Amino acid sequence: MHPVATSIFTLPDHLAAKADPQLIARDEQHLRAVVTALQDYISELTARLDAARKAPGGAGQAALDRDQDIHRLTGRLRVLRRFNSDLCLGRMVAGDSDADDAAEPTYIGRLGLTDRYSQRLLVDWRAPAAEPFFAATHANPMGLISRRRYRWTSGHITDFWDEVFTPEGLEGNAALDDQSAFIASLGGSRSEAMRDVLGTIQADQDAIIRAGSRGALVVDGGPGTGKTVVALHRTAHLLYSDAQVSEHRGGVLFVGPHRPYLAYVADVLPNLGEDSVRTCTLNDLLPEGLAAAEEADPEVARLKFSAEMVNAIGPAVALYEKPPTEGMEIDTPWGEVWLSSFDWAEAFSAPDPGTPHNEARGLIWESVVEILTDKVRDLGEDASDVGVDLNEDVDGEFNAYGLTREDSAAPFRRAISQNPELKRTFGRAWPLLHATDLVGDLWEVPAYLRMCAPWLEPRQIQLLRRADPRAWTTADLPLLDAARQRLGDPDTTLRAERRRAAEEAESTRMADVVDQLIESDDSDMRVMRMLRGQDLQQALVEHAAPAEINQDALAGPFAHIVVDEAQELTEAQWQMLLRRCPSRSFTIVGDRAQARHGFTETWEQRLERVGFDRVTHSTLTINYRTPREVMVEAEPVIRAAIPDANVPISVRSSGVPVKHGVAADLEEILDQWEVGHDDGVACVIGAPHFTPRDRVQSLLPALAKGLEFDLVVLLDPERSGGGVAEAVDRYVAMTRTTQELVLLERP
């Protein structure tokens, strides 16, 4: 290929007509201005970032503001430096018969951009003004007379398409293709990362992308209908346009089906101008998920994944929240006080319902100390031996400086808090618990499981028992997650207890200092006595207390959650996500026909059953990816198992028929494909022992979901037990291709 080139347009020989300066000169000039403005903006932000880093750190709110400013500038620069002239997606021309400049184009960008003279060069693709660029159709042109879309390759425009909606739009447009730009772009070779398709979003997809965030929006569609494209672009659009989904309100969590999928889509959101979205799989939500294996026994998986099993966590925790039934005598420097079973029960009722177990521990301890402090105060004259009057007539010079009964009780609270017998008894009655210990005990101690899940049959209890209770599987994760929520973070509780102990130690030290200052004060006003005020002492102690840091970035709460391949989630897994999004604002993407374990309900029935209260539903029915030749063979595979499957209509034809062969042909088939294709990627599915090549991956069907390849070679597609899972696996594997499919049988 001998390209006809300018600095931005690099068009192959067969598109030489499109390189006519009359067609591209205006774009060339405008895109040069975009590059200049972009570099100016990057330089400005870089200077601001350097200045922020050199500025004094400060303290308190000033330090926080400085750090947030550095974080914001760094993130913005990281996004901007990804682009050059390819920041622009295309242009549109609105018609106005009464205006002299009716043909002046509006350029649409991944981000909005103005030059140094405040002239708008690019309109952000998410802005309402950009909507016609994506949503206009010949039936509803939305005021446009023409639209031009670019295909970018390595920073250069290698093709562009003009769509004309009125006769006026014919002027200056040459690339009037019969097929849409979206279909044409999908005809190109795949890469290991998802192709940038922002400029070719279709009207039905754009309507879903721009829908509001309230409630749950289901995007249902078969293979190749653009579900993932819609989900990713909708994520970026919500962050830009919806104040309820902004980062400072929790931001967005994007949940994908597996790691290869996340790698495949990793560049899409940054290319859309957003790098604040957290992406993960369900396993990533918990530290134990990183090494969790699949549950080998289907019945064990079914039991653990049920919502009923998650309900066992509440009773399991409640067994560790029983107040002592016997009283105890507590020794203090002012005498013995009696802590009755009634007192214990009163203290254990102090936390509000729903307070996590480990967090409630501190509240209960404070209640115990308060009860005992009141009892010590009632000792009256015995307590006065330490030089502090605890009687009802606390006034005189102490009261003149704002001293209260609470202030005078500080020495007694410290003494009670250090009583070892009391701490041991409290620790046994309300222990600090870890989720891994709690769930592990369920699988290790049958009697414990029987008490917490009385609905289980004896056979099921034995089935759930295992030698290594902490050999975690994916089916354990929902229970571990529920236990973490019910218990709270024990490490945070420990840190809080250590901080409280440090504050008490500092209070003791401060009290000694205050006593010395008061003793040495010979002023007429005796102003040093004001230091006995609790507010002054507490302010000094709190100034040195370390701030809490939330180290679990995936714990939420999030303002919005996007779930791809959502048809596979169990009830217990849905609960994991609902805990992280109290607003229940979700984008749910999936295909009932691709559920390996069957999906006989409607989306509305499934989601309402797991806890959603507002569900809307959109359906995509056009397959832009999979050639018709492939769908002709794939449709009967899924219909045999799921007669009402939503099989989309394919609008593309590759001209390459599906090929059949035997497993021994695999290497030869791949050799021939590599020789005949300088770019693109292939995948061998169903051959776990195949050694991958540079442009040839090897995956099992479950890990191929959400991905696409130029060539798919599927081994042994006919050998099957006839179940839904086998049919879904074959259907998913067959529909991953954008060009060629080869089916190989084993001997």
Residue 91 has which token pair? 């242009």
Q: Return phi, psi of residue 623, to 5°.
A: -95, 110
Annotate 662-699 with three-state secondary structure: EHHHHHHHHHHHHHHCCCCCEEEECCCCCCCECCEEEE
Going 261 to 262 to 264 to 270, the CA torsion angle's sign is positive
CA pair distance 183, 652, nearest whole angstrom: 7
Distances (CA, A) of 345 to 231, 341, 604: 51, 6, 45
DSSP 3-state percent helix, strand, coil across the chain (nearest 5): 50, 15, 35
* 199 assigned ligand-binding residue: no
The answer to whether 474 is a known ligand-binding residue is no
DSSP state of 125: T
**Which residues are CB-neighbours of 272 under 8 A, at least 6 positions away?**
110, 125, 198, 232, 233, 236
* Closest C-alpha to 334, from 402, 408, 392: 408
Task: Determine if residue 224 is labeled as part of a ligand binding site.
Answer: yes
Torsion angle defined by CA atoms of residues 725, 729, 730 and 732, in that order, rounded to the nearest 10 degrees: 130
The DSSP annotation for 600-659 comes to -S-HHHHHHHHT-S-EEEEEE-EESSS-HHHHHHHHHHHHHH-TT--PPEE----S-PPE
- Annotated binding residue at 221? yes
Ligand-binding site membership of 228 (annotated): yes
* Sign of torsion over alpha carbons 661, 662, 666, 667: negative
Question: Tokens 């088939």 identify what position?
Answer: 669
Which pair of structure tokens corresponds to residue 422?
């009391």
Q: How many CB atoms lie within 10 A of CB 728?
A: 28
Residues written for the chain: 747
Radius of gyration of the chain (CA): 34
Cβ atoms within 10 Å of 487's Cβ, excluding its own: 25
In what helix (H) or strand (E) does residue 186 lie, and over which residues does it extend?
A: helix 181-186
Contacts from 362-370 at CB under 8 Å and sequence distance 24+?
A: 362/493, 362/496, 362/497, 362/500, 364/426, 364/430, 365/426, 368/339, 368/343, 368/344, 368/422, 368/426, 369/413, 369/416, 369/417
Return the axis-axis angle of helices 477-487 and 357-377, rounded to nearest 10°.
20
The torsion angle over the Cα atoms of residues 289, 292, 296 and 300, rounded to 10 degrees, is -50
With vertex at residue 564, the alpha carbon angle to CA 558 and CA 570, rounded to the nearest 5 degrees, is 85
Amino acid at 727: A
- Alpha-carbon distance 191 to 388, whole Å? 79
Give dist(CA 440, CA 461) in Å, integer. 14
544 vs 419: CA distance, rounded Å: 26
Q: Is position 222 annotated in a ligand binding site?
A: yes
Ligand-binding annotation for 223, yes or no, is: yes
DSSP state, residue 590: E
Annotated binding site for ATP: 221-228
Annotated binding site: 221-228
